[in-house]
């Protein structure tokens, strides 16, 4: 099965790491790190802050490569959490 892409952080995730909705069903859109009980885990996170964190993960912690971070950053504006159409 193709991994799901979190519509907040942009990382791929598997079935076991799906976030939870308010009714405790599993979310198909968000990973458990970003979404629990129908809410974002970091309510104040901005796209700019997430970009900074991704680059930090690549530069300082070597958790992902710089190329992977850049690919995710390019994808962010098209994810459900960050699309401007969500605020209209």
Express each pLDDT in 5-50 by its tens digit.
Answer: 999 999 999 999 999 999 999 999 999 999 999 999 999 999 999 9
Domain count, the chain: 1
Classify 9 in phi/psi space as left (phi over 0), alpha (psi -120 to 50) or beta: alpha
Residues 76, 47 contacting (CB under 8 angstroms): yes
Q: How many CB atoms lie within 10 A of CB 6?
A: 25
Ranges 30-34, 45-49, 52-56, 81-85: which has the least confidence = 81-85
Give, for 72, the enclosing helix (H) or strand (E). Answer: helix 66-75
Q: Which domain holds residue 45?
A: 4-87
Q: Would you say 37 and 22 are in contact if contact means Cβ atoms under 8 Å apart?
A: yes
DSSP-derived 3-state class of residue 13 = strand
């Amino acid at each position: 099965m193709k991994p799901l892409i979190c519509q907040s952080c942009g990382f791929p995730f598997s079935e076991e790491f799906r976030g939870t909705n308010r009714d405790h069903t599993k979310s198909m859109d968000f990973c458990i790190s970003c979404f629990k009980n129908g809410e974002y885990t970091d309510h104040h996170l901005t796209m700019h802050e997430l970009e900074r964190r991704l680059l930090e993960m690549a530069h300082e912690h070597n958790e992902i490569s710089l190329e992977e971070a850049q690919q995710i950053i390019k994808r962010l504006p098209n994810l459900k959490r960050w699309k401007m159409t969500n605020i209209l």
